[in-house]
């Protein structure tokens, strides 16, 4: 059976669908409705939606962008000493409430990690970083191997080395 879901770059056809998106986290809903397209136009973030073709709805979305990150001393072992290291940021990841509990969060995260890995082969990225919005989000990312980057930000800035991402996809 073919799945009705497809990952697509957020575009014109998705604009009218934004209004009905609701993941239960106001800031994530508002981002998709008001800032996603602008940030793409300014090359601040790239937004991918998980489009439900059978319903004509956005089931979820995520954003990717690049950043530089300072690594704690224990994470720099064996690395050249730089003040900051290149990384890929999953800035936002959300699943519409009507699709929650179906495993789509995992599917969205795996797509984001796959694109981050592919991008790291063209533009270097040492790790994937995310800022978990709350304890539930932190628990979600932790299940996939993300660990706190530091105790700053309440331990909500999470880190997954790109080498770990590469091993994950090598097993698939």
CB 63 within 8 A of CB 45: yes
Phi-psi category of residue 49: left, alpha or beta, with phi > 0 → left and psi -120 to 50 → alpha: beta
Q: Residue 157 forms beta bridges with which residues? A: 131
Closest CA relative to residue 139, chosen from 155, 152, 125: 155
The set of residues, in sequence order, having a beta carbon less than 8 Å from that of 108 and lying 6+ positions away, is 50, 60, 61, 62, 93, 95
Q: Tell the residue number behind the tokens 């919005």, with chain if given.
A: 133
Other CB atoms within 10 Å distance of the CB of residue 159: 22
Clarify whether 5 is annotated catalytic.
no
- The catalytic residue among 31, 85, 141, 144 is 141
The set of residues, in sequence order, having a beta carbon less than 8 Å from that of 40 and lying 6+ positions away, is 10, 46, 47
Instruction: Provide the annotated active-site residues.
Output: 141
């Amino acid at each position: 059976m073919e799945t009705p879901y497809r990952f697509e770059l957020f575009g014109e056809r998705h604009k009218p669908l934004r209004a009905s998106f609701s993941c239960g986290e106001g800031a994530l809903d508002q981002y998709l409705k008001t800032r996603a397209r602008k940030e793409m136009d300014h090359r601040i973030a790239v937004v991918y939606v998980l489009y439900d073709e059978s319903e004509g709805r956005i089931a979820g979305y995520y954003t990717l962008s690049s950043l530089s990150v300072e690594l704690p001393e224990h994470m720099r072992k064996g690395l050249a000493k730089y003040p900051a290291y290149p990384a890929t940021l999953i800035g936002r990841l959300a699943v519409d409430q009507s699709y929650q509990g179906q495993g789509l969060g995992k599917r969205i995260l795996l797509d984001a990690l796959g694109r981050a890995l592919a991008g790291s082969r063209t533009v270097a990225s040492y790790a994937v970083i995310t800022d978990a919005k709350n304890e539930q989000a932190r628990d979600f990312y932790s299940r996939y191997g993300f660990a706190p980057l530091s105790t700053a930000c309440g331990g909500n800035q999470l880190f997954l080395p790109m080498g770990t991402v590469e091993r994950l996809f090598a097993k698939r």
